[in-house]
Structure 1
Amino acid sequence: MREIVFDTETTGLDPKTGDRMVEIGCVEMVNRVATGETYHAYFNPQRDMPAGAEAVHGLSSAFLSDKPLFAELADELLAFLGDAPLVAHNAGFDFGFLNNELALIEREPISLDRMVDTVAIAKKRHPGAKLSLDALCTRYGIDRSHRVKHGALLDAELLAQVYVELTGGRQIGLELAAETIEVTQEITSVTTRIERTFRAPRPHSASAEELERHQAFIKKMESPIWSD
């Protein structure tokens, strides 16, 4: 099964108040194994970048000023997403921004039926535990030492590893990625008839001669314990 793990960076927390998506990173997975295919893009939000948001992801207004508008890259992004389920951490947030950008250019929204939220999965797996991406990376021993600031593609790559662990672990992913090999094996049953020579049952009682020899042997024993 093909799935896309993705993450976004934005100018703020709420697209309804004018915040925009400025970066998206996507990682393709097939049967829970990363294929190496990714999609990454920056977008000019056509507005200023608040200092608080820039502190999180490091994307300044100056850096984004020459980047394409979302409308210019929408077709290639949607082509990469295809009809695959979309996996994100706190997915409602990322879906909200992605669908807001689509709405601004009068395109159909992505159905929420395709949404897979790793926060919801983590809540069931680890109730009461910290559920941030950093916390889950620590729990599963995933190296995030290169994550100085948030970055959409980097976070999507880390989340892809977390997602595999949340849904059964690396071994399951590897098994699902393996090619299915069908082997048809014919088993022929051969019945071999073995001829056996009949032998009369062997008597197990002692003969008169054996009893006589036994009594002679007993008489040679001094003070046997059974005679006390």
Structure 2
Amino acid sequence: MRQIFLDTETTGLSAENGDRVIEIGCVELLHRKLTGNNLHFYLNPERDSHEDALRVHGITNEFLKDKPKFGEVVDQFLEYIEGAEVIIHNAPFDIGFLNKELELQGRPRFTTFVDGITDTLVMAKEMFPGKRNSLDSLCDRLEVDNSGRTLHGALLDAELLADVYINMTRGQDALLMEVESNDEQSRTTERVDLSSYQLPVIVATEQEMSQHDDVLTQLDKSSGGKTVWRNLQNSVA
């Protein structure tokens, strides 16, 4: 499975009001392994960045003057992302800007070219309800080293996002064992038959039950009382 972690930097917050993309960073993951086949562009937006945006990314107008325009790299960009699952933190923001850039080039919308889009912000809110779920917060929570992130940068943020995603989804892989031969072009995959195993049943302690109940209470608050597990408990009782 080919996954692309993508981030952008922009001149401001509103693509509809004329703000443009100034940086695109993409990191490729293949079968949950970083390949090093990354893509990175600085772009000339043909306009100045807002002061607030400049404080976030630090990419000056002078630096961008000799960089290519989006139309000059669009084919390379689309070829790179084609058919992949694209993973973005707060996807509506980046996709909105990329759609506008593609529209200015007379191209179809971003989703036309990819296999799907996963928003890690949505994932994080489901996993950590009621907590801060910015990229920096997730790095701290999941022990991903972000000490080099003094300013936002699209490629660095995409790399951090890949680490965060791998940590967030750890343990969710299929029970498959990949056996690689010495021939790098020859791979076989064997399924592990678990039917003959007697798996132990570990009963939760009182402390674990109490912690579980606290989590359900938080989910009740964030979902307006729609927690499925709580509803099942009530119906059984």
The TM-score bracket by the shorter chain reads 0.7 to 0.9
Structure 1: unaligned runs, 5 residues or longer: 184-228
Distance 1:176-1:105 versus aligned 2 partners, 3 A rule: farther
Distance 1:26-1:177 versus aligned 2 partners, 3 A rule: farther
Alpha-carbon shift at residue 181 of structure 1 (Å)? 3.9
Alpha-carbon shift at residue 146 of structure 1 (Å)? 0.7
Identity of aligned residues (%): 49
SS class of match (1:37): coil
Give the corresponding residue for 1:142: 144
Residue identity matched to 1:131: N
Alpha-carbon distance between aligned partners in 2 of 1:145 and 1:33, rounded to the nearest angstrom: 22
Structure 2: unaligned runs, 5 residues or longer: 181-186, 191-237
Give the corresponding residue for 1:123: 125
Contact 1:102 1:109 survives alignment (8 Å): yes
SS class of match (2:79): helix
Aligned residues: 181
Alpha-carbon distance between aligned partners in 1 of 2:107 and 2:188, rounded to the nearest angstrom: 42
Show the 5 A alignment for 1:91-106.
Answer: 91-106=91-106
Alpha-carbon shift at residue 51 of structure 1 (Å)? 1.3
Distance 1:128-1:68 versus aligned 2 partners, 3 A rule: same
1:24 lines up with 2:27 in the alignment: no
Residue identity matched to 1:19: D
1:49 lines up with 2:49 in the alignment: yes
- TM-score w.r.t. the length of structure 2 is 0.72
SS class of match (1:22): strand
Contact 1:6 1:26 survives alignment (8 Å): yes
Distance 1:178-1:104 versus aligned 2 partners, 3 A rule: farther
Residue identity matched to 1:44: N
1:78 lines up with 2:78 in the alignment: yes
Q: Which has the higher contact order (CA 8 A, sep 6+)?
A: 1
- TM-score w.r.t. the length of structure 1 is 0.74
Residue identity matched to 2:133: L
Contact 2:177 2:189 survives alignment (8 Å): no
Alpha-carbon shift at residue 32 of structure 1 (Å)? 2.2
Query: Which of 159, 162, 171 lines up with 2:161 in the alignment?
Result: 159
Query: Which of 131, 134, 137 lines up with 1:132 in the alignment?
Result: 134
SS class of match (1:17): coil
Distance 1:176-1:32 versus aligned 2 partners, 3 A rule: farther
Alpha-carbon distance between aligned partners in 1 of 2:179 and 2:80, rounded to the nearest angstrom: 23
Distance 1:66-1:10 versus aligned 2 partners, 3 A rule: same
Structure number, greater radius of gyration? 1
Alpha-carbon distance between aligned partners in 2 of 1:33 and 1:130, rounded to the nearest angstrom: 27
Alpha-carbon distance between aligned partners in 1 of 2:179 and 2:55, rounded to the nearest angstrom: 42
Give the corresponding residue for 1:9: 9
Alpha-carbon shift at residue 14 of structure 1 (Å)? 1.0
Alpha-carbon shift at residue 168 of structure 1 (Å)? 2.1
Alpha-carbon RMSD across the aligned residues, in angstroms, is 2.1
Alpha-carbon shift at residue 106 of structure 1 (Å)? 0.4
Give the corresponding residue for 2:90: 90
